[in-house]
Amino acid sequence: MDNLNKLFEETLRDVYYAEKAILKNLPKMAKKASSDKLRSAFEEHIDQTEEQVGRLEQIFESIGKSARGKRCPAIDGLAEEASEIMQEAENETVRDAGMLAAAQAVEHYEIARYGTLAAWADKLGMKDAVRLLETTLEEEKETDMKLSDLALSEINIEADAGGAAGKSSRSASRNDAARASERRT
């Protein structure tokens, strides 16, 4: 990689891989969600992610490259964390809070990547790519805000109440899990 064009291409492949991974993981998270609102937020984001994949494919086409992903260890790590949370949470409200926080970590990764790609596309004079990347960037920001609102208005409150109601010695760690997700929100 010795120029910005190449770096742009490689990063485009990174985010393409990430979007495909997200498409695989979102249905699993939607299935595990106990809150109807959280489930529909995940389901809505599946449709959005499909459109985002389509936009990336348009950019690949515009630069004459085949749409091909490049393994992204960052997104694999975030997905692994999400599945750990799904397995380890001992009640469904805490699981919801953990999954929501995991989804936000993914959104933040995507916001970082799309912001960078849009800036590079602008530098490289790729007007159409800038427009497509910024459209996705705005969607990711909106999704992140929606998740924050849902966490603060419902999910964290329910997770905290669920933990406080528990009489077992695990109730303290349930509260910790809920508070940890609040900090990340």
Q: Which is nearer to Fe ion, 110 or 158 (CB)?
A: 110
Distance in angstroms (rounded) separating the CA atoms of residues 68 and 29 = 25
Helix (H) or strand (E) holding 42: helix 36-62
Residue 70 CB, nearest approach to Fe ion (Å): 16
Residue 25 binds to Fe ion (criterion: CB under 5 A) = no
Question: Cα–Cα distances in Å, from 51 out to 20, 58, 136?
Answer: 11, 11, 9
Q: At what angle do helices 36-62 and 4-32 cross, to 10 degrees?
A: 160
* Size of the residue set binding Fe ion (CB under 5 A): 3
Q: What does the per-residue mask of binding to Fe ion show for 108-127, with x meaning CB under 5 A?
A: --x-----------------
Among 52, 175, 181, 185, binds Fe ion (CB under 5 A): 52
At 133, list the tokens.
């990347």
Q: Smaller CB distance to Fe ion: residue 49 or 175? A: 49
Task: Tell me the closest approach of the beta carbon of residue 96 to Fe ion, in angstroms.
Answer: 21
Nearest approach, Cβ of 133 to Fe ion (angstroms)?
Answer: 11
- For Fe ion, give the closer residue by CB, 121 or 178: 121
Report how far apart, in Å, the C-alpha atoms of 122 and of each of 45, 151, 162 are: 27, 35, 48
* Residue nearest to Fe ion according to CB distances in the complex: 52
Contact 30, 43 (CB under 8 A): yes
